[in-house]
Structure 1
């Protein structure tokens, strides 16, 4: 009897052991399956966790670049015009600096003869060459000079209706000064000074504007209001009239960003030298420009209202064989400046128009 009881108890113990083992196996299998599931979908788990705690996942900024197809489309559309001007370059595959260098190499212009700065305000894309090299400013100083006077008017320090005596104003050319005294009966308003200093780029009205600020010496100390070059010459050096395109691109950007405030002088710049300088081969565009010429220097600052507007400062020296003794614009040098304007604009059309 006892032997039978021992056998039954043994069987029961074996069954119990098998049951416990089965339970453990089932539990381990479930945990293993859960672990495999987590391992197979790690990104899903992380994203869920971040979403639950409100963490935003930042995507890297996409670079604003035109597609090859879009670039080629512009190249095809403008092919005849580029060919007719003899200014066909690989705009779609060259950088702006490389494109300008290709033009200069073709026409034998030394790299030191040209400095430029370009900026697309919408995209922030900016390119430059020799941008801190001191270059002779010529009459381009009249742009920031006019801006300074507008600032004084906006602050209530000057009036647009008052006529100011110009009989004792400083001047560069006596005959020009005397002509203005006679034409305006010895007094000019600020709008008159603005018009004749920007539309016709004459010096006597510019000196009259500077007088409103305390004189030309004082005006030169104020030009840093609109920016400073990272080079040795920070704004415009008065003693030798040297400046940089790095400074002037900042002046242009300040002007562009405050178009309502400077509407009057922008209007005068818009009227100046119609069909010339930057407009020579681009007469279909609205271009607000301030050219500057003196001796060896031939320059232009411009806001160009393409489909996507851009800003550009181009300063040159010795183009066409001009020298420090030159007393009139060199015709061949002028043509080269006009062609540079076209080349830069065409690169912009191919690579930047429509990006933003």
Structure 2
């Protein structure tokens, strides 16, 4: 199931909406509609105007979140980082980057750019609202003034909140950049992630007695800090190896004309869950146990590998870094990649198991 869909591009960066955004949009609108001034529109004369203002405020708020993420992305692009897309989702916005800059100064500027954009937007709206209210006496009593006042306050709070040193929030990345000037990148990530987990624990405790949203944020911060710590450790460790160092050179393939029952027996015998599909010397695709699971039991004696295989094959060359293979597997949610030479011939196969084995052997050598 496709969980995100593109709605356009800004500066060449695809902008996507995650399905969770469609859930949070009416929730935020309801919060604004059911709260009195100065944080909502409950006191408006008509329910229709109430909900219209609430929905408009929510849309504008997420547009500001989009600008926040664009702040990160444009600075990252300046340093040569590829931005795959920006996705608006349940927890706000997420910029999908090829890789966070390892240079501490670059990461610090990139991390600080988002909160800075939010704070600038907040104060700009506040100043404009104040000037209009000074020139037009009746403006301060209008719902438009109230709407922009809410947007101003939330943007300032959002910018300052993101600067908390709770990794992987923006302030946590600023903290890692500070640590990275004084120690290696893995240690800097570990220390920043530890601080982030402490903040997540404190936010969760405060949330129990005040705001349930803090519990949700604490959960995402804790999980995000743990994942970033693990992912960085794996990536940096695997950078020491090339694909040829850790791949399996003996590639066991299957025929596209093998039926699914025979394929299952073959998988059980050879103890692997994915195989390239070869016809003679030609690569036709790749088939995995996940593909088999999609086939009803009664059809497995009739259908062939060619009926269920994936024809779009993700591959790497043998001289690529093992860390590139790890990122490729994670971004595509796959368990293995084929290794090819300059002519496109298959020379090996690399699985997550091979990468984890390299990780364990590297740790043993420390």
Instruction: Report the TM-score range of the alignment, normalised by the length of the smaller protein.
Output: under 0.3
TM-score (norm 1): 0.25
Ranked by relative contact order (alpha carbons within 8 Å, sequence separation 6 or more), the top structure is 1
The structure richer in helix per residue is: 2
Structure possessing the higher radius of gyration over alpha carbons: 1
